[in-house]
Amino acid sequence: MRPTFLGFEAGRKGLAVAQKGLDITGHNLMNAATPGYTRQRIDQVSVSTYGMSTRMANNYISMTGQGVNITGVAQIRDPILDRRFREEFADSQYYQTKSDIFSDLATVVDEYANQTNGTGLLEGINGITDAIKNISGDKATDRACANALLTSFKSICQTLNDFSTKLDKIAAQQKEDLAISVDDVNSILAKIAGLNEQIAAEIGLNPTDERIYEPNELLDERNLLIDELSKYGNVEITSEADGTVTVSLGGHVAVSGNDYDMINHFERPGGTYYLEWLSSGKEAVMSTGSLKAAVDMINGRGPDMQSQYETPEKGVLYYKDRLNAFANTLANAMNTVLPGQIDEQGNPVDGSGYKKVLQSSDGQGITAGNITVSDEWLADVAYIFPNPDSLNNSTYFQKMGTLLNKDGEVTFNSLGTTFTGSFEEYIMDMHNTCAGEASFTSGRLEATAAVADQLLNQRDAVAGVSQDEETTNMLTYQKSFQAVSRLMTAMDDCLDVIINKMGRVGL
């Protein structure tokens, strides 16, 4: 025989489940716009009939129909989509950072934009060739023409100085941004470790094999931090039995339980940058993410790497080398054209050497950063005339113009790489190299960002809150609550008859 109030107990459980279902549905709706929130659901199961817990162990039938129980409140989340999104997000951030740096580099080597602004190297070369054209015939000894030529050389030297300074500023800015990113990574690792400790403590309060409730809000906060961390490098997550996660960043265990490691950033004497783990002193090497992109571009010297600390990426060092090669080649070409003195026939006088047109401002090797007009020319504008009284000067200026025009052929040497062609071809090759790298990076950014967005949408379809679905759940639980309430009313009516009316014949 069944217990008298078994049906009421089953109804009570049904009401509790329906009420909790409405609570969780409302909780989901209220957090639909909360960043990182994962929708929740109640896990409900039918109450099992276990004979050992009854006084009539062999009569299972009398104990069936005990209703429903809640075994927990779970999150709806797909760990595979989490992993795939974080991998693709790291790749997209790698190309995003590279693309941003190429945008900065384009302010230096984008010759089309520079020509529009009147600050390009081609503009400087054309200014010199135009000034040389005026020093011919009866103007081959004209001081005004020599002054115009001096001004044009000053202009291209200033342009090279400015471009070199811009590259230095780009490198400095990237190093500063990298330091900020490292601080952000360390902060995230510390927060994840702190959340690990809180989550383990919460779960430790209920150490049974089947957890009734996990701290879902803390899990959401931790997952959001892991998503943010993934933009900096390749992240791997391992879930532990106590509810904590072990986080590996760049193949190194960065968080284990409530312990975490930190990254330090350093600049080597040669100007290259590197990251290392505080605990071991080993270099922190990422395979993707914004940290890798920043280090690659700061240390990027292209195919002419001079040390193991540099990278083959065509970054800041690469374009600085190319500008230095341009400046050095320009100086060498111009400094070996004008003889120190010519005879009446216009031939160089033996032992007179050459007129020094360009020099370095600091006495070191000529680079884009220190190239300037020679002191001798600055002191006397007529210094560049091999013979102040000879019209034969124009022959040498024409030779100078030939070296600079688009049909001229000069050899540019940059740390082992040789380029043979005109100054214009060299400038455009540098421009096209940057434009090609930027275009490739932009294409990869677009592709990886599209995949990351697609994976994010798929993940949100699983973990995000759907108002339509939650509204349906709300109606379902409401109807369930009403039905169970009606059931309990019916059972109360039946019990009233059994207790108060049965056996009262004739009344």
pLDDT at position 375, please? 94
> In sequence order, which residues have a C-beta less than 8 Å from that of residue 100 and are 6 or more positions away?
none
**pLDDT at 289 (0 to 100):** 96
Which runs of E-coded beta strand occur in 201-338?
235-239, 245-249, 252-256, 259-260, 263-267, 273-277
Same domain? For 137 and 178 the reply is no
CA distance 430 to 319: 8
The answer for 137, left when phi > 0, alpha when psi is -120 to 50, beta otherwise, is left
Q: Which domain holds residue 10?
A: 6-76+466-500
384 contact partners, CB below 8 Å, separation of at least 6: 146, 149, 150, 338, 355, 357, 377
Same domain, 124 and 177: no
End-of-domain residue from the set 416, 436, 456: 436
Q: Tell me whether residue 57 is in a domain.
A: yes
Q: Is the pLDDT of residue 246 over 90?
A: yes
459 inside domain: no
Quick one: 189 and 299 in the same domain? Answer: yes
pLDDT averaged over every residue in the chain: 88
The mean pLDDT of 89-104, rounded to a whole number, is 95
Residue 270 in any domain: the answer is yes
What is the phi-psi region of residue 421: left when phi exceeds 0, alpha when psi lies from -120 to 50, beta otherwise?
Answer: left
Residues 201 and 264 in one domain: yes
Residues 282, 346 within the same domain? no
Task: Tell whether 177 and 152 lie within a shared domain.
Answer: no
Task: Give the pLDDT score at 315.
Answer: 93
Q: Which pLDDT score is estimated for 56? A: 46
Q: Please report whether residue 262 resides in a domain.
A: yes
187 & 297 share domain: yes
State the pLDDT confidence band at 210, using cuts at 50, 70 and 90: low
Separation of CA 44 from chain center: 43
321 and 302 share one domain: no
Per-residue tokens: 29: 């709706």
Q: What is the pLDDT of residue 414?
A: 83
In this prediction, residue 499 carries a pLDDT of: 81
Among 309, 329, 357, give the residue marking a domain's end. 309
Q: What is the mean pLDDT of residues 272-297?
A: 94
> Do 76 and 39 form a contact (C-beta atoms < 8 A)?
yes
Domains of the chain: total: 3
Q: Give the mean pLDDT of 108-114.
A: 74
184-206 pLDDT per residue, tens:
999 999 999 999 999 998 887 66
Query: Which has the minimum average pLDDT: 234-248, 263-277, 286-300, 379-393?
Result: 379-393
Answer yes or no: do 161 and 176 share one domain: no
Task: Please report where in the chains the tokens 């090797």 appear, as a residue.
Answer: 365
Same domain, 362 and 477: no
Q: Are residues 407 and 491 in the same domain?
A: no
Percentage of residues of the chain with pLDDT beyond 90: 59
Q: At what angle do helices 121-134 and 423-463 cross, to 10 degrees?
A: 160
Last residue of a domain, one of 309, 331, 355: 309
Is there a domain that residue 443 lies in?
A: no
Instruction: Assess if residue 304 is contained within a domain.
Output: yes
Give whole-number Cα distances, 50 to 4, 60, 61, 271, 420, in Å.
18, 8, 11, 73, 90
Note whether residue 375 is domain-resident: yes
Residue 182 to residue 171: CA distance in whole angstroms? 16
Evaluate whether residue 103 is within a structural domain.
Answer: no
* 256 Cβ contact list (under 8 Å, min separation 6): 244, 246, 247
Q: What number is the average pLDDT over the span 296-316?
A: 91
The answer to whether residues 204 and 244 belong to one domain is yes
Helices (H), 355-422: 375-379, 393-404
Q: What is the maximum alpha-carbon separation in the chain?
A: 155
Would you place residue 134 in the very low, low, confident or very high pLDDT band (cuts 50, 70, 90)? confident
